[in-house]
Structure 1
Amino acid sequence: MTELPEHPRRDRRRRHRRRLVMAVVLGATAVVLAAGAVATVVAQPQQKGADRASGSSTQDGGVAVRAGDHTALTADQVAALPEARYDAVIPGLLPYASSDVPPVSHDVYTIATDTPIYNDEHVAVARFAFMNFTGRPTVIVPVRSDGAWTLVMTPARQKLPSQSNGAAPAQTAGWVRTDALDRTTTLDRRVVVSTGEQKLRIEDFSGTVEKTFDVAVGAPGTPTPTGVTGYLQERYLDPQQGQATYPIQLTSLHASAQDEPFQGEDGGLIGMHYFPSHSGSISHGCIRLSDEAVTAVNALPLGTSVTIVP
């Protein structure tokens, strides 16, 4: 839902996004060839003990695993799972509604290969792609760890607002195998947005506020979801949306009141982006920022938690 109402409609933006993704992927490949900055061959993690057996299919298309003795999926089984990406709706995911940031979420992870996501019954219902829609490694943010299993947030939807009387979960989660995660970043700050105060704060985990900015939030008919924590999943420039200078800060959160508040097919994403008018309840759900605010958020690592409160 990274919307700018004075710019081209979403069908043009969707085509542009495809071109953007291809451009990013090609550009990333060029960087790899020139500088060797990104590995082009990914080592597949070895399976251990009982993890070598294959899973069995379930009636809803998931893959069941034994609760006490994990059964690894084959590469084909993982590939057949729907990708948990920004515009996906995957009923098997778990709703996650909390304004807390658990201590385990202070660390950000990546994965070495496409990785299955499981529900509470240990049925594989989705997958994380190794590379996200911009062609960069997918960031993974945990909620809690339970030994061999870790509950993590995902960037997909669990259901649409039209399927839930305008009250869909704004954030989802799912279980992954703990040994599939590679820690990359330890965070020391978080973002908190208050829709009532129309303020964005950057603070440390003790609650000490470092910076505060005025922001615009969702209008009454297209509200910004509140009482929930997500994370910064990606950032990118999009000249077709008027964002050629300040990167769009894309969160994992989604509109909970309308399927597509700004039309198009972006999954009702909640983005934080620059806009000249950045005060009041005027947006389609996104957080509109000043140039100083978007520059400050842009300096934070991907995976940084974003909490929206009333």
Structure 2
Amino acid sequence: MWLVAALAAVLVVAGIGIALVNRQPGPAASTPSETTTTTPTTSAERTSTPTPTADGYAANTATYDVTTLPQVNVFAVIPALPVDDDPFTMPLTETAVARGVGAPVWADPADEPVAYVPHEYPYGGTVLPVVERQEHWVKVLLTGRRAMPSAGDPGQVTGWLRTADVDVTPSAGLGVVVSIANRTIDIVHADGAHERIANDFAWGADATPTPVGRTFVMTTRTVPEYAYTRGHPIVYWAVQSPTLEGFDGADVAPAAFHYHDTRSGPVSNGCIRVDPDAITRLSALPPGTPVMITP
């Protein structure tokens, strides 16, 4: 498995158990098929960082023991987390990282926290794009799922964090916009300029479609054991397959950008397959970079 091979040493250093090593995400393999989709209205430009105002949810100064809450990570299934309700708007040009051990996460800031996001995690997913900014709160994209595909909506999840619990910093101002209909991939820069890095690629088959909407770069790994990557990195997203509960023996199925010799048409299990130049460019993007997939 990709993380078994690439991260076993990291997990030993981090003190993560062998049980976790045997439950790692891997990219999807190929299954030829056809797919038809419709294109929603989407904003490809990233919104400027706003100035926080007093409007919004009231401050919460309560103290919480985050270790008593479910941890948000790529393996987590947390039914209380909401699925993104504005999937085709690019995030703001800010990211949030939890302070200390981690930060509590709210589905609704008027209620109690439902989970926590750690400051660090071996498989990434801790640099979180901000999608809404208030004086006391930020709404962010998260890793994990609220449900398995057989039991509910496994789409991109979100949550609210208190600004007092996180470091909110300006991001690099970059985003990735993928149009399946046009078979294009652009890197969008802070000034709005589009850098076209692909004019064709492979995407998910009808039974295993590529998830659409906004997500973000969770982690980037080079896995020589995956021969089809030809030694190129795999750029994993926070969102997982809308139809696969797991893949290749794992109980997670995150989608990704990766190289493949066959890289045109609806032939994957949800990943976007690209050429060497494109994956080299994509693998240079920092964790937390927003990724927008439009049908």
What's the TM-score bracket when you normalise by the shorter of the two chains? Answer: 0.7 to 0.9
Which AA in structure 1 matches 2:150?
Answer: S
Task: Say which structure, 1 or 2, has more relative contact order (CA 8 Å, 6+ apart).
Answer: 2
Q: Is the 8 A contact 2:129 2:288 kept in 1?
A: yes
Deviation at 1:145, TM superposition (A): 1.5
Note if contact 1:230-1:251 (Cα within 8 Å) is conserved in structure 2: yes
Q: Is residue 278 of structure 1 aligned with residue 267 of structure 2?
A: no
**2:178 aligned to 193, 213, 225, which one?**
193
CA distance in structure 2 between the partners assigned to 1:203 and 1:14 by the alignment: 29
1:79 corresponds to: 67
Equivalent residue, structure 2, for 1:237: 222
Deviates more, 1:90-99 or 1:107-116: 107-116
Q: Distance in 1 between matches of 2:252 and 2:205?
A: 18
Secondary structure of 2:279's partner?
helix
- What is the CA distance between 1:142 and its match in structure 2? 1.0
Aligned partners of 1:189 and 1:159: how far apart in 2?
A: 30
Distance in 1 (CA, whole Å) between partners of 2:187 and 2:253 is 24
Deviation per residue, 1:186-208 (Å, 9 max, x gap): 22221011222232221235653
Name the TM-score, length of structure 2 as normaliser: 0.76
Task: State the alpha-carbon separation in 2 of the partners of residues 199 and 139 from structure 1.
Answer: 26
Asked if 1:145 corresponds to 2:130, the answer is: no
The alignment-based identity, stated in percent, is 29
Contact map agreement 1:143 1:153 (CA 8 A) in 2: yes
What is residue 219 of structure 1 aligned with on the other side? 205
Q: How far apart are residue 281 of structure 1 and its match? A: 0.8
Task: Point out where structure 2 has 5 or more consecutive residues left out of the alignment.
Answer: 16-56
* CA positional deviation for 1:265: 2.1
For residues 171 and 81 of structure 2, what CA distance do their matches in structure 1 show? 26
Which has the larger share of helix? 1
Match of 2:254 among 269, 284, 303: 269
> TM-score normalised to the size of structure 1?
0.73
Residues 21, 199 of structure 1: alpha-carbon distance in 2 compared, 3 angstrom cutoff: farther
Q: Which residue of structure 1 lines up, in the alignment, with residue 8 of structure 2?
A: 19
Describe the SS at the equivalent of 2:133. Answer: strand
Q: Provide the rounded CA distance (Å) in 1 between the counterparts of 2:125 and 2:211.
A: 27
Alpha-carbon shift at residue 13 of structure 1 (Å): 4.6
> What SS class does the counterpart of residue 295 from structure 1 fall into?
helix
Tell me how far 1:18 sits from its aligned partner. Answer: 5.6
Query: 2:142 maps to which residue?
Result: 154
